[in-house]
A and B are shown apart, each in its own frame.
Chain A
Amino acid sequence: DVVMTQSPLSLPVTLGQPASISCRSSQSLVHSDGNTYLNWFQQRPGQSPRRLIYKVSNRDSGVPDRFSGSGSGTDFTLKIIRVEAEDVGVYYCMQGTHWPLTFGGGTKVEIK
């Protein structure tokens, strides 16, 4: 199975400052169709998860443009340009290139 490793585990951020979360996979996530199926999810406290980004860098509808995804191969990053209070929660990367589908362990974003 593909192991997804996120860092850091916890990320205290000052409001208005940037945040960056790293996600690494144990195998390349480049699919035989040429696409890279790395997705990001946000889970706010007490809520169900919500997909933020799919295929590395494509924002879902309604996701603010302060969120961006980048990366390739086995190394990926989620960035928040300026953290707002509503961004508090746990962020998960997830790969859809190989079965079974696997998630990273999560990164908790909190306000300093």
Chain B
Amino acid sequence: EMQLVESGGGLVQPGRSLRLSCAASGFTFDDYAMHWVRQAPGKGLEWVSGISWNSGYIGYVDSVKGRFTISRDNAKNSLYLQMNSLRTEDTALYYCAKDPKGDTTMGRRPFDIWGQGTMVTVSS
């Protein structure tokens, strides 16, 4: 069974950093692009970032550019999101999601598998 398990969320003060992780199992991780999608409390879904199978193509939503860094370790079947300079508006449930494509065609019909999410709360 294909599975994604996020971890690393928590309560953090504005301006501080946090690193999220996503452990994948049940599929060949390095065949596929991966994404982070977030959902603020009581709000809708927002794509945050995506990375191709070999990390050759990376994209971010404008609101996190320069602050967040997506990365992956195919040997460990893991996806990461390094979040720096956190703001209160980054408070959300962060989902890891798989793409059915691996390369530059990623993102066209993505998110065929989702994790359960990890909550990030930015507050003083």
Q: Which residues of A contact B (CB under 8 A)?
A: 1, 31, 35, 37, 39, 41, 43, 48-51, 54-55, 60, 90, 92, 94, 96-97, 99-106
Check A54 against B109 for contact (C-beta < 8 Å).
yes
A92 touches B45 (CB 8 A): yes
**Chain B: minimal CB distance from A20 (Å):** 19
On whether the beta carbons of B95 and A101 are closer than 8 Å, the reply is: no
Q: Is B47 an interface residue (CB 8 A)?
A: yes
- Give 27 A-B contacts (CB < 8 Å), ordered by A residue: A35-B108, A37-B109, A39-B109, A39-B111, A41-B45, A43-B45, A48-B95, A48-B114, A49-B95, A54-B112, A60-B112, A94-B45, A94-B111, A96-B107, A96-B108, A96-B109, A96-B110, A97-B108, A99-B59, A100-B47, A101-B35, A101-B110, A102-B47, A103-B45, A103-B47, A104-B44, A106-B44
Instruction: Give the residue name and chain of the A residue nearest to B93 (CB).
Output: A48
Minimum CB distance partner of B117 in chain A: A48
Query: Which B-chain residue is minimally distant from A101 (CB atoms)?
Result: B47
Task: With CB as the reference atom, state the residue of chain B lying closest to A54.
Answer: B109
Q: How many A-B residue pairs have CB under 8 A?
A: 62
Number of residues on chain B facing chain A (CB within 8 A): 22
Most chain A CB inside 10 Å of its own CB: which residue of B37, B44, B95: B44
> In the complex, how many angstroms separate the beta carbon of B119 from the nearest chain A beta carbon?
13
Chain B residue numbers with a CB within 8 Å of A94 are 45, 47, 111
A-B CB proximity, top 6 nearest: A54-B109, A96-B108, A101-B47, A48-B114, A37-B108, A103-B45
